[in-house]
Structures are given as structure tokens and as C-alpha cells.
């Protein structure tokens, strides 16, 4: 269940990019989630949680690293493409190339094997009605809620957030009103990269650290984003929950191997019935 | 792979490798041409692997004998191979119709997401549904066309001839299609959909036809691949090899230019399949990582070409018809690139 909230945060990562979603970014956080594992010096454990200070440092490093990576990619690739007048097509293909490259780099450095932040089995404790929850999962849910609140504050309570939303709505108009859209873009990449990194670490904590884990999440993520309406962070959070629950519950009736297909079915159904998503505004 | 390097030392070995390599490239060139048809109307198909896979599996199960022992797959009617090819193309078309109906009239990015999704779901179905296509064991012993008639080592030449013949037919077909008034309408839709619509073109229908046509050719390519390699499994149709690899060929060769796409298939194919050849002569630290390095380079290649040579090795020709002379306008616009097209589209 913790995983479902992670989807939400990840999905939020692309809210300001709208159409030109950073595919490469989704893989970028992944780089850092394994980096966090390597940097996570043994720092004891917090109570019954499976990790200590090492992971906290790892999260910070991951967030900074992916934010920096996103900035570099923006400068090296996306800004040039934008200057040349690129559209969604060009960005999509370029980010595809970046995603392939980033995944290859992960494999080059850490190899194709799986890792865990802390080896060993972490028992789950029983709470109400026989539902078992690991302490880590409380942590994940807590971090997700915290991230959502912070994002809300950033978007709706600061000048920067206001400028960001204005840029997302209409870049031309925002620029005409004296907003430095270039800076806003950088800021958006930073926020997106940080959220992505955070979600990557949470995913690594909940499941395992794998070189293609980020890539495998791509479809559920898009499902969540489309379900919530593109560009709507709250919709994405809710969409992420819904997709995650649907995936888990579906195993009651269908073959577990088919689980990855659930988000796809959701995408198609949503596109057929309500293309702008559950909470999307008419375009 | 080690065996491959040993065989290359001899002349026969080199010839055999080249024949096999060209066969593979021809099959991928078919996929890339098919993708070019879809791209020429601005369809972003990130699920080439799905159509490739459907074609391969459909043709395989139709032509294989009934399952025995541990094997478990549907059909197995032992039909003639050309019939398998035909149904592979039909299967690709059906899949494209199913996908296109909900997504083609919506935003461009939805089809991209839907296609990448369908590739993932098809792989998981093939992997997990018992009795459908042998799950992860894959299908083995798929016969090649004329395999019984031609014995021994000569058969690889037949394989090459088959792949090249199909490639030539496909090339001819897509060249004719895109040079026709229909093809001009496709370009018009890609460059400026609103203008095309204002000129009375049913843009959704044009896009659908192009999508289905491309998917048919991809299905056909899959069938040829299956009969050539003799064994297929869900792993064969990864996003990397089945989809992104084909996109790289398109971008490197020159999207919109069929000759460029075939050239791109040759160049990227040589880069990809040739890497194992030099593996032995590389220092150890690099040699053991050569597969990751080439994956990285594929990614870099896409980005570099988009940034510095977006028109690819061979640019799309601006002359739309042999009945129109290349006027001064066209000459000035020699370097028509994806970016320029995109800019035009942006100014809608």
C-alpha cells in the first residue's frame, strides 16, 4: 500500500512539464535510489524501522543529485531543443534516448543485480483487523504526505509557485507578465527531480533496488497521471492511489503475472470515457 | 559470441557472419520503414515491439505442428508459412485498430503511452497465461520458408534472399504510398493538422490508415523474424531492441526519407551487432561491459542526432511530387528537419 502513494509522488514529478514529460527523469531518480543504497553508511536503526541516518543522508543526496542531473539535461538537451522549436515529439524521443542512456549507466556502475537498503527480513506488525504493516511503510506514507503538503505550500502559497502555475497555463502570457520562464523551468526541473528522487528511494525501501525498477513503473505512473488529469498534482496523487489499489486488488481474480496490464486497461478506459482525467479541466 | 569471433577469422566465417547480419538488418529495416509510415503522419508509436511480437507469435503458432509433451500453445495447425505471414500482417492491423480507435483522436502523447503500454501487457500475457504461447519457455522449432528444399549451409543465403525480397517489396510499397496524393496528405497533416482539416481532409481517418498500414508491415516483419530465428520468447521483444532500436535507425537515417531509414538500419545495425566482434580485442574492463556501453551509446546517438543533425544522415526530400519542380522556395528549404517541421506545427 505504501507503493501506491509513491506512485502519486512520482506522478507529481511531471505536473509542470505537461506534455513534455521527462521520461529520462523517471530513470534519473532511479540512479540515485541505488546511489542512496551505496552511500547509506551503516548508521544504526531508528526504533523498529529498517534503516538509520544513512538513508536520510541517502535521500538528501538523491534529491540533490537528481535535481542537478535534471538541470544538466535541461541545459544540454532540452533548452537547445526548445530553442530550435521542438515539440512534444522531439522531447519525447530525446527523453527516450536519455532514459536508455541513464539505464545503461546504472547497469555499468552497479550491474544488473538487485539490492536492498538493509539486508534481512523485516517483520510486519499487525494492526487492526489482521492487516499487517511494516514500520517502514508508515514512514513511506508519512514522507509522502509531508511531500504533498510541502508541494501544496510551494505551489499555492509562494510567489514561485504562482509563477510556476502561470507558466504551465500559458508560457507566453507568463513571460509577458514579467515572469522569467527560463528560471521557472529550471525550478520546475529541480522540484520534479527532487520528488522523483524521493519517490525512487521510497520505492527502493518498499520493494528492492533494481536497475529497471524506475522504468517498470513508467506505465502505472502515466496511468495515474492521466487518471488524475495531466498537470494536476492532486489528481495524480489520487490517481496513483487508485492505480496502486486496483493493481493489488486485481490479483484476487486474475493471474498475478497479468498485474502489469491493469494500469494499461485503466488508461484505455479513462481515455475512452473521460480523456481529460477524473479531475482534469476541459482544454 | 566467442564462437562468432573464431568463425570470423576465416573467410567463410566472415561471409557467413555478413550474410546473417544483412538478414537481420533487412528485417529491422522493414520495421523501421513501417515506423516511418506512421511517423510521416506524426504518430508517435513507442510500441513497435508490440506489433513485431504479435506478428511473430501469430505466424509461429499458425505454422507450428500441434503441441506435444510439455509444450502448450494455441493453434498449431501447421499451415503453410506464407499464410502465417498473411495472418501476422492482419494481426498487426487488428491491434492497431483496437489501439487507434480510443487514442488517435486525442492528444499526440496518449498514443505514445498506449503503445508502450500494449507492448508491456502483451509481454506479460505471453509470459503468464498458461497454454497460450508456451509462456516464458517461448516457441521453438519454427520452420523457415523453403527450409526443407534447401539443405545445409546454403540456407542462410535463402534467408537473406527472403528478407531482402520482402524488404524491397515493402520499400516499394511505402515509397509509392508516401509519394502518392495520399502520402502528401499525410505530410500535410503532420506539418499542420488544422490546415489539412480546413482543406477537407479527414485527418483522424488518414492517421488511422497510416497507423494500420505501418502496423501490418511491422507484423509482417515479426513473422519473417520468427521464421528466420526459429525460436521466439517474450524476452525477444524487449522495449530496447523491439522499439527504441528501431527508433534510433529512424532518427539516425533520416526520418521521412525511406532510403535514409534503410541506411540508418544498416549503420545502427552494424554498430549494434558488430560490437561483439571487437569485444575480444578490448581491454578487460571495457570488454566485459560492452553490452551496457553500446546501450548507452544508442541513447547518446539519439540525443546527439536530435541536437546536431535532426534531419538524419539523409534528409527528407521536400519535393512532394515529380510533377512539381524544385522551385527556389524548396531549395532554400533544403535542410527540412524535424525541428523545422515542429516549429511550423508550433505556430498553429
Res. A17 pLDDT band, cuts 50 70 90: very low
- A172 touching B (Cβ < 8 Å): no
- From residue A111, alpha-carbon distances to A34, A103, A211, B126 in Å are 11, 10, 8, 27
Note whether ipTM > 0.95 here.
Answer: no
Provide the strand spans (E) within B90-248.
Answer: none
Query: Which of A93, A107, A261 lies at the smallest CB-CB distance from B306?
Result: A93
pLDDT for res A195: 73
**Contact criterion met (CB below 8 Å) for A260 and B124:** yes
Q: How far apart are the first and last CA of chain A?
A: 33
Query: Which of B106, B120, B247 lies at the smallest CB-CB distance from A96?
Result: B247
**Contact criterion met (CB below 8 Å) for A126 and A204:** no
Provide the strand spans (E) within chain B.
Answer: none
Q: Do the chains contact at B112 and A98, CB–CB below 8 Å?
A: no
pLDDT in tens, A148-179: 788 778 777 778 777 777 776 666 777 777 77
Using a CB-CB cut-off of 8 Å, the residues of chain B touching A257 are 124, 127-129
- A83 touching B (Cβ < 8 Å): no
B280, B225, B348, B328: which is closest to B7 by C-alpha? B280
Distance (Å, rounded) from C-alpha B268 to C-alpha B241? 12
- A171 touching B (Cβ < 8 Å): no
Q: Do the chains contact at B128 and A257, CB–CB below 8 Å?
A: yes
Q: What is the pLDDT along chain B (348 residues), one digit of tens a residue?
A: 455 555 556 777 778 888 888 999 999 999 999 999 888 887 888 889 999 999 999 998 888 887 776 677 777 777 788 888 999 999 999 999 988 887 777 666 677 778 888 888 888 888 877 777 777 777 877 777 777 666 666 778 888 888 999 999 999 998 888 888 888 888 778 777 777 777 777 778 888 889 999 999 999 999 999 988 888 888 888 877 888 889 889 888 877 788 888 998 998 888 888 777 776 677 766 666 777 788 888 888 888 888 877 777 777 766 555 555 544 444 334 444 555 555 555 554
Mutate which: B117, B248, B250, B309, vs A, most A CBs within 10 A: B117
Instruction: Residue B78: count other Cβ atoms within 10 Å of its Cβ.
Output: 11
- A89 touching B (Cβ < 8 Å): yes
Mutate which: A14, A17, A89, A218, vs B, most B CBs within 10 A: A89
Q: Do the chains contact at A258 and B251, CB–CB below 8 Å?
A: no
Q: What is the DSSP letter of B139?
A: B
**Contact criterion met (CB below 8 Å) for A271 and B110:** yes
Q: Do the chains contact at A258 and B128, CB–CB below 8 Å?
A: yes
A residues 218-237 closer than 8 Å to B (CB): 218-219, 222-223, 226
- A282 touching B (Cβ < 8 Å): no
A residues 244-273 closer than 8 Å to B (CB): 255-261, 263-264, 267-268, 271-272
* pTM of the complete model: 0.79
Give B131 to chain A, closest Cα distance, Å: 13
Helices first, then strands: H and E counts in chain A: 13, 2
CATH topology of domain B2-346: ABC transporter involved in vitamin B12 uptake, BtuC (1.10.3470)
Q: Do the chains contact at B342 and A102, CB–CB below 8 Å?
A: no
A38, A282, A219: which is closest to B113 by C-alpha? A219
Pairing mode, if any, of strands A125-126 and A132-133? antiparallel
Distance (Å, rounded) from C-alpha A197 to C-alpha A33? 7
Q: What is the DSSP letter of A74?
A: I
* Burial (CB count within 10 angstroms: exposed 0-12, middle 13-18, buried 19+), residue A127: exposed
Using a CB-CB cut-off of 8 Å, the residues of chain B touching A105 are 292, 296
Q: Do the chains contact at A264 and B121, CB–CB below 8 Å?
A: yes
Angle between the A218-228 and A23-39 helix axes, to the nearest 10 degrees?
A: 120
**Chain B residue whose CA is closest to A106:** B292
Query: Which of B128, B307, B342 lies at the smallest CB-CB distance from A77?
Result: B307
Distance (Å, rounded) from C-alpha A105 to C-alpha B109? 27
Provide the strand spans (E) within chain A.
Answer: 125-126, 132-133
**Contact criterion met (CB below 8 Å) for B315 and A56:** no
Using a CB-CB cut-off of 8 Å, the residues of chain A touching B240 are 100
- A88 touching B (Cβ < 8 Å): yes
Amino acid at each position: 500500500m505504501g507503493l501506491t502513494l509513491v506512485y502519486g509522488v512520482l506522478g507529481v514529478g511531471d505536473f509542470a512539464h505537461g506534455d513534455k514529460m521527462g521520461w529520462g527523469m523517471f530513470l534519473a531518480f532511479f540512479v540515485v535510489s541505488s546511489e542512496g543504497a551505496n552511500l547509506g553508511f551503516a548508521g544504526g536503526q531508528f526504533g523498529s524501522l529498517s534503516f538509520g541516518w544513512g538513508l536520510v543522508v541517502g535521500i538528501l543526496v538523491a534529491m540533490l543529485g537528481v535535481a542537478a542531473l535534471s538541470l544538466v539535461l535541461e541545459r544540454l538537451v532540452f533548452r537547445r531543443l526548445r530553442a530550435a522549436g521542438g515539440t512534444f515529439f522531439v522531447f519525447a524521443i530525446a527523453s527516450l534516448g536519455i532514459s536508455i542512456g541513464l539505464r545503461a549507466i546504472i547497469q555499468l556502475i552497479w550491474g544488473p543485480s538487485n539490492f536492498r537498503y538493509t539486508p534481512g527480513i523485516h517483520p510486519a506488525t499487525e494492526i487492526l483487523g489482521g492487516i499487517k504493516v511494516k514500520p517502514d511503510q508508515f514512514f513511506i506514507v508519512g514522507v509522502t504526505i509531508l511531500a504533498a503538503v510541502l508541494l501544496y505550500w510551494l505551489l499555492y502559497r509562494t510567489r514561485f509557485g504562482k509563477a510556476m502555475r502561470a507558466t504551465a497555463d500559458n508560457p507566453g502570457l507568463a513571460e509577458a507578465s514579467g515572469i522569467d520562464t527560463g528560471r521557472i523551468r529550471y525550478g520546475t526541473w529541480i522540484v520534479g527531480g527532487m520528488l522523483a528522487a524521493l519517490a525512487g528511494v521510497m520505492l527502493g525501501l518498499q520493494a528492492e533496488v533494481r536497475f529497471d525498477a524506475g522504468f517498470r513503473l513508467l506505465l502505472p505512473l502515466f496511468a495515474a497521471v492521466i487518471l488524475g488529469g495531466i498537470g494536476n498534482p492532486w489528481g495524480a496523487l489520487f490517481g496513483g492511489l487508485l492505480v496502486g489499489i486496483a493493481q493489488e486488488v486485481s490479483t484476487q481474480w486474475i493471474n498475478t503475472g497479468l498485474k502489469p496490464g491493469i494500469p494499461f486497461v485503466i488508461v484505455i478506459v479513462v481515455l475512452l470515457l473521460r480523456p481529460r482525467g477524473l479531475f482534469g479541466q476541459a482544454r | 559470441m566467442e564462437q562468432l569471433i573464431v568463425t570470423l577469422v576465416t573467410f567463410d566465417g566472415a561471409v557467413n557472419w555478413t550474410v546473417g547480419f544483412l538478414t537481420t538488418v533487412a528485417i529491422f529495416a522493414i520495421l523501421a520503414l513501417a515506423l516511418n509510415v506512421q511517423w510521416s503522419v506524426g504518430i508517435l508509436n513507442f510500441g513497435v515491439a508490440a506489433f513485431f511480437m504479435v506478428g511473430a507469435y501469430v505466424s509461429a503458432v499458425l505454422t507450428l505442428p500441434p503441441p506435444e509433451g510439455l509444450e502448450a500453445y494455441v493453434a498449431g495447425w501447421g499451415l503453410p508459412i506464407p499464410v502465417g505471414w498473411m495472418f501476422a500482417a492482419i494481426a498487426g492491423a487488428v491491434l492497431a485498430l483496437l489501439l487507434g480507435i480510443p487514442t488517435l483522436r486525442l492528444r499526440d502523447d496518449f498514443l505514445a503511452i498506449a503503445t508502450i503500454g500494449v507492448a508491456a501487457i502483451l509481454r506479460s500475457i505471453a509470459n503468464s497465461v498458461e497454454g497460450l504461447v508456451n509462456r516464458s519457455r517461448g516457441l521453438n522449432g519454427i520452420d523457415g520458408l523453403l527450409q526443407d528444399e534447401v539443405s545445409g549451409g546454403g540456407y542462410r543465403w535463402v534467408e537473406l534472399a527472403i528478407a531482402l525480397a520482402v524488404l524491397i517489396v515493402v520499400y516499394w510499397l511505402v515509397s509509392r504510398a508516401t509519394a502518392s496524393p495520399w502520402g502528401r496528405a499525410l505530410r500535410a497533416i503532420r506539418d499542420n493538422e488544422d490546415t489539412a482539416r480546413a482543406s477537407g481532409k479527414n485527418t483522424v481517418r488518414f492517421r488511422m490508415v497510416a497507423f494500420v498500414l505501418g502496423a501490418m508491415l511491422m507484423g509482417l516483419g515479426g513473422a519473417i523474424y520468427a521464421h528466420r530465428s526459429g525460436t521466439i520468447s517474450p524476452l525477444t521483444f524487449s522495449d530496447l531492441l523491439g522499439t527504441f532500436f528501431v527508433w534510433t535507425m529512424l532518427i539516425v537515417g533520416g526520418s521521412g526519407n525511406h532510403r535514409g531509414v534503410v541506411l540508418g538500419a544498416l549503420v545502427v545495425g552494424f554498430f549494434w551487432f558488430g560490437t561483439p566482434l571487437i569485444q575480444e580485442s578490448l581491454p578487460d574492463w571495457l570488454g566485459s561491459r560492452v553490452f551496457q556501453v553500446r546501450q548507452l551509446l544508442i541513447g547518446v546517438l539519439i540525443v546527439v542526432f536530435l541536437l546536431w543533425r535532426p534531419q538524419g544522415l539523409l534528409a527528407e526530400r521536400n519535393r512532394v511530387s515529380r510533377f512539381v519542380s524544385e522551385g527556389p522556395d524548396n531549395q532554400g528549404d533544403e535542410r527540412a528537419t524535424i525541428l523545422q517541421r515542429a516549429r511550423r506545427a508550433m505556430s498553429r
